[in-house]
């Protein structure tokens, strides 16, 4: 974010004009260069200020709508209510927290097992003797068996989710 205030730029501009003999119009602040494009439809600009007093309960209702919706401010919520525009509210299903946490944990474990298998494979390919290859093969197979158990647990969680959310056919 750029800071561009006239009182800070005025001496710099005077020195630049004196030094480079340029006009003030040629020297611009970066904030001026990065300003938003003006709207073509002047009716859509929010130019008129409206001050409204509300009760505490109304304010709490507006704050609740703000927390549940995609609006960024209470003013935006109030504008949408005044214009009778649609307010998109997002609700979180609390019954899904347990399975989602379990899925995240399984994903983390599968990722770490996959990394370990890749390391064992690299070690296996790097060694020359048969005894060392056998050792790394046994360790990789142990990781694969561990992986098999995690995949079974993953399938059970997915089947529970499917029973709950997918339609019966």
**Per-residue model confidence (pLDDT) at position 15:** 47
Q: What is the pLDDT of residue 128?
A: 87
- 107-122: per-residue pLDDT in tens? 888 888 888 888 888 8
**Each residue of 41-92: pLDDT tens digit?**
777 777 788 888 989 999 999 999 999 888 899 989 999 998 899 988 887 7
Distance (Å, whole) CA 169 – CA 164: 13
CA–CA distance, 103 with 96 (Å, rounded to integer): 11
Instruction: Kindly report the average pLDDT of the chain as a whole number.
Output: 76
pLDDT of residue 11: 47
The residue extents of the domains of the chain are 1-35, 49-91, 94-165
Whole-number pLDDT of residue 107: 85
**Residue 144 pLDDT:** 85
pLDDT at 9 over 90: no
What is the enclosing helix (H) or strand (E) of 36? none
Q: From residue 39, how far is each of 30, 45, 72, 92 by CA, in Å?
A: 20, 7, 20, 36
Of all residues in the chain, what percent carry a pLDDT higher than 70?
Answer: 76
What CATH number matches the domain at 94-165, 1.10.3470, 1.20.58, 1.20.120, 3.30.70?
1.20.58
Which residues does 156 contact at the CB level (< 8 Å), separation at least 6? none
Token pair for residue 4?
């561009």
pLDDT on residue 2? 43
Q: DSSP character for 167?
A: P
For residue 4, what pLDDT is reported?
A: 46
Q: Is the pLDDT of residue 146 over 60?
A: yes
Radius of gyration of the chain (CA): 31
pLDDT of residue 168: 64
């Amino acid at each position: 974010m750029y800071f561009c205030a006239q009182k800070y730029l005025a001496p710099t501009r005077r020195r630049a004009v004196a030094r480079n003999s340029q006009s003030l119009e040629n020297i611009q602040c970066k904030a001026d260069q990065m300003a938003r494009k003006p709207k073509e439809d002047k009716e859509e600009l929010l130019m008129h200020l409206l001050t409204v007093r509300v009760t505490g309960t109304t304010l709490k209702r507006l704050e609740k709508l703000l927390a549940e919706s995609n609006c960024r401010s209470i003013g935006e919520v109030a504008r949408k209510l005044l214009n009778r525009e649609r307010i998109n509210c997002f609700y979180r299903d609390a019954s899904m927290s347990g399975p989602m946490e379990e899925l995240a944990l399984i994903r983390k474990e599968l990722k770490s097992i996959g990394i370990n298998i890749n390391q064992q494979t690299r070690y296996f390919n790097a060694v020359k003797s048969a005894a060392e290859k056998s050792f790394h093969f046994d360790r990789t197979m142990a990781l694969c068996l561990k992986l098999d158990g995690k995949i079974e647990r993953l399938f059970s969680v997915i089947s529970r989710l499917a029973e709950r959310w997918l339609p019966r056919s």
